[in-house]
Amino acid sequence: MRSLWLQVAAVTAINLKSIGQRRWLSLSTVIAIALVVIVLLAFLAMANGFQRTIAGSGADDIAIVLRAGSQAEINSTVSRDQVRLIEDGPGIARGSDGKPLISPELYLVVDGIKRSTKTKANLPLRGIGEQGTTLRKDIAITAGRMFNRGSNEVVVGKALLREFEGFDVGSTVSFGASRWNVVGVFEAGGSVFESEIWADLNVVQSLFNRNNVVQTVRARLTGPAALNELKSYSDNEPRLKLDVKSEAAYFAEQASQTSDLIQKLGWPLAIAMALGAVAGALNTMYSSVAARATEIATLRAIGFGGFPAFVGTLAESLLLAVIGGLLGAAATYLIFDGVTASTLGGNFTQVVFDFKLSPWLIAEGVALALIVGLIGGLFPAVRAARLPIVEGLYAR
């Protein structure tokens, strides 16, 4: 047993030390595997960044109320009467003045010009109630001030400001027939709200002629457990045909469709490339076995078994794969991690998010690389183990 271990260790060491003699072919395999990992990780980091941005902005003790069956805010309508019924519903937290902590909100799409491409894109304009900012986490004004209630002023999310033209504090913007003054910039803990424009609900309602409806109602619950109370109240009240969800669940739903789609694009592409990399690895490793035929046969003649030759060859292939995988992960990290992208969110508006690698994603990338190395090394390793000694000795 000890002898077998010594044999395997010695043959593996000999094998790995000889990689330098095949450096260009080996390098080409490393690069092919690295490219596979870069493509995979770029997509996964994109999906991950998107998911985290959106899902991360949701809380458990905030309820989102939409019309039943409307998947996204944009499809929803909630009437003034319904808002009143929700205000009186169970589980809704109240402020020190006894008023319910809710924010009816109107969500509209307006035009903006993208800085990078100078093309038009849809931007979300949100009219928020008095409690709009307190019902969200980590809202802070970073420049200028908050809009005044009752005036045609807006504040813009900092991600939106970064990506779109004309929203600097002090400027005036036109949405359809209405004109608005940009008075401030806000951040929202990196959440999706940073890609929105906010104004006073009443002003938005009147300037867009939507006086009696909102699209959602956001409410602070007395606790996460109160969600079910509010749900059953809504289900049992005929005048309320509404869906009640926690903000976290709502955002996770919104994000999962898009991030699933990104992953579904990324994996097949990466796997197709991986097949190419397997072909390259096979070629490299068969060449390696051929180049080492005399060495392998000499060791066998001395009395070494075939198994060490198998392990050594596989180890070489896996080493190239690990190097390729780590190189690919490092390259993805340097090129993409933290890079900002924007894409259509669930509400058909621009969501700004960062590519985000995680240790788990890197592990997935390296695992794919190892699979490439394993398949690419397995068959050549079998050949190495079975190489007839006489053939190998005179294979120079």
Partner 1 sequence: MTAEHPMIRLTGVAKRFTKGKETISIFDHLDLGIPRGDFIAVMGPSGSGKTTLLNLLGGIDRADAGEIAVADQRIDGLSEGELATWRAANIGFIFQFYNLMPMLTAAQNVELPLLLTRLNRKERAERVHTALSVVGLADRTKHRPREMSGGQQQRVAIARAIVSDPNLLLCDEPTGDLDRQSADEILSILQLLNGELGKTIVMVTHDPAAANYAKRVLHLDKGRFVERELAA
Ligand X SMILES: Nc1ncnc2c1ncn2[C@@H]1O[C@H](COP(=O)(O)OP(=O)(O)O)[C@@H](O)[C@H]1O
For 65, the enclosing helix (H) or strand (E) is strand 62-67
- List beta partners, residue 180: 173
User: Which candidate, 152, 184, 153, 180, places its Cα nearest to that of 168?
Assistant: 184
Q: Which of 256, 283, 298, 358 binds partner 1 (CB under 8 A)?
A: 298
Residues numbered 21 to 60 that lie near partner 1 (CB under 8 A) are 21
The binder of 301, among ligand X, partner 1, none, by C-beta within 5 to 8 A per type, is partner 1
Using rule CB under 6 A, residue 225 touches ligand X: no
Q: Which is nearer to ligand X, 4 or 390 (CB)?
A: 390
368 touches 274 (CB < 8 A):
yes
Q: Which of 141, 142, 295, 350 binds partner 1 (CB under 8 A)?
A: 295
User: Which candidate, 39, 24, 29, 45, places its Cα nearest to that of 323?
Assistant: 29
Q: Which of 6, 68, 225, 335 binds partner 1 (CB under 8 A)?
A: 6
Give the per-residue contact string, 300-329, with partner 1 (x = CB under 8 A; - = no). Answer: xxxxxxx-----------------------
| Site residue total, partner 1 (CB under 8 A) | 26
40 touches 367 (CB < 8 A):
no
Q: Which is nearer to ligand X, 261 or 390 (CB)?
A: 390
d(CA 288, CA 306): 16
d(CA 191, CA 219): 18
The binder of 3, among ligand X, partner 1, none, by C-beta within 5 to 8 A per type, is partner 1
User: Which candidate, 301, 287, 321, 314, places its Cα nearest to that of 382?
Assistant: 314
Binding part of the chain for partner 1, among 133-141, 144-152, 206-214, 293-301 by CB under 8 A, reads: 293-301
317 touches 76 (CB < 8 A):
no
Q: Which of 107, 390, 393, 396 binds ligand X (CB under 6 A)?
A: 390
- List beta partners, residue 197: 125, 156
Name the site residues for partner 1 (rule: CB under 8 A).
2-3, 6-7, 10, 14, 17-18, 20-21, 294-295, 298-306, 389-390, 393-394, 396
